[in-house]
Chains A and B, each alone.
Chain A
């Protein structure tokens, strides 16, 4: 089971790496790098390198904060209609949701790596539980963000339709 999960996350990291290297827009490139580092974070948990994983977690969160401050807060990245400058409340809220989810992952992993049993024949239940928890919560975050952004775009299109 672990090799399958490993190669699934590995494929995500490779695709993110290709996006980071190959995209023409530097903003997308930076977002690809962030996705690659997040995927590597999960891989490090799978490899039981908890120390490195937590350090990488700090780096990923720091990168996310810098991107938010430099790109999103400046109002340069727009979700809605082109040519309209506005500060996006959705992204502002998403930032705090991301912090909350990060804290939740931290809590879940801290509780999951407690010695609840011995690793037998390469099967380490506490580490596997931690990795699955991280993947599960990150999946929920990704789905929620997609839904929120989709609803927002839909409302923007409706408003533009009414204005026309």
Chain B
């Protein structure tokens, strides 16, 4: 049996790694990947509490759907940016209008 504290620590570490990448990196693809890493940490945190709550599995499914949505929509936005601005660096995208 794995103690819940271990899972919480691992989830927190994954969340921190993703947060650091989200704040510090400039390439758009890495920003999207960092967001997915953060959501994976959230998924582990939910699993750690699964023993106490029967809703956690359902919430986990929602988080998984969110992971897929973030990856797909993020990639689509990046593709659109690249099409009009010819770059994926997030610093270059300071306008919603192209």
> Is A18 interfacial (CB 8 A cutoff)?
yes
Checking A6, A7, A37, A123 against B40 with a beta-carbon cut-off of 8 angstroms, the contacting residue is A37
Kindly identify which residue among B2, B25, B29, B37 contacts A46, using a CB–CB cutoff of 8 Å.
Answer: B2
When distances are taken between beta carbons in the complex, the residues of chain A under 8 Å from B1 are 2, 121-123
A143 within 8 A of B: no
Chain A residues engaging chain B, CB cutoff 8 angstroms = 2-3, 6-7, 10, 13-14, 17-18, 20-23, 26, 29-30, 32-33, 36-37, 40, 43-44, 46-47, 49, 51-52, 55-56, 59, 62-63, 121-123
Contact B33 A21 (CB under 8 A): yes
From the candidates A30, A62, A123, name the one contacting B33 in the complex (CB within 8 A).
A30
B31 to chain A: closest residue by CB: A21
User: Could you tell me the distance between the alpha carbons of A67 and B17 in the complex, rounded to whole angstroms?
Assistant: 23
User: Using a CB–CB distance below 8 Å, which chain B residues touch chain A?
Assistant: 1-3, 6-7, 10, 13-14, 17-18, 20-21, 25, 27, 29-30, 33-34, 36-37, 40, 43-44, 47-48, 50, 57, 60-61, 64, 67-68, 71
- Residues on A with C-beta less than 8 A from B43 are 40, 44, 52, 56
Does more than half of chain B's interface fall in helix, strand or loop, or is it mixed? Answer: helix
Q: Please, which residue of chain B has its CB at the minimum distance from the CB of A55?
A: B64
Contact check, A20 vs B21: say whether CB atoms are below 8 A apart: yes
Please name all residues of chain A whose beta carbon is closer than 8 Å to the beta carbon of B2 when the two chains form the complex.
2-3, 6, 46-47
Q: Are A7 and B6 in contact (CB under 8 A)?
A: yes
Question: Which residues of the other chain, A, contact B30 by a CB distance below 8 angstroms?
Answer: 20-21, 23, 26, 29
In whole angstroms, what is the CA distance A51 to B59 when docked?
A: 12
Task: Please determine whether A40 and B3 come into contact, CB atoms closer than 8 angstroms.
Answer: no
**Most chain B beta-carbon neighbours within 10 Å: one of A17, A33, A44:** A17
Chain B residues with Cβ under 8 A from A46's Cβ? 2
Q: How far is the CB of B71 from chain A (nearest CB, A)?
A: 8
Give Cα A10–Cα B40 distance, bound, in whole angstroms: 12
Kindly list 18 other residue pairs between chains A and B, CB separation below 8 angstroms, not including A13-B14, A122-B1: A3-B3, A6-B2, A14-B14, A17-B14, A18-B17, A20-B21, A20-B37, A21-B17, A30-B29, A33-B33, A43-B47, A47-B48, A47-B50, A49-B50, A49-B57, A49-B60, A55-B60, A55-B64
Contact residues in B for A21 (Cβ distance below 8 Å):
17-18, 20-21, 25, 30, 33-34, 37
In the bound complex, what is the Cα–Cα distance between A7 and B5 (angstroms)? 12
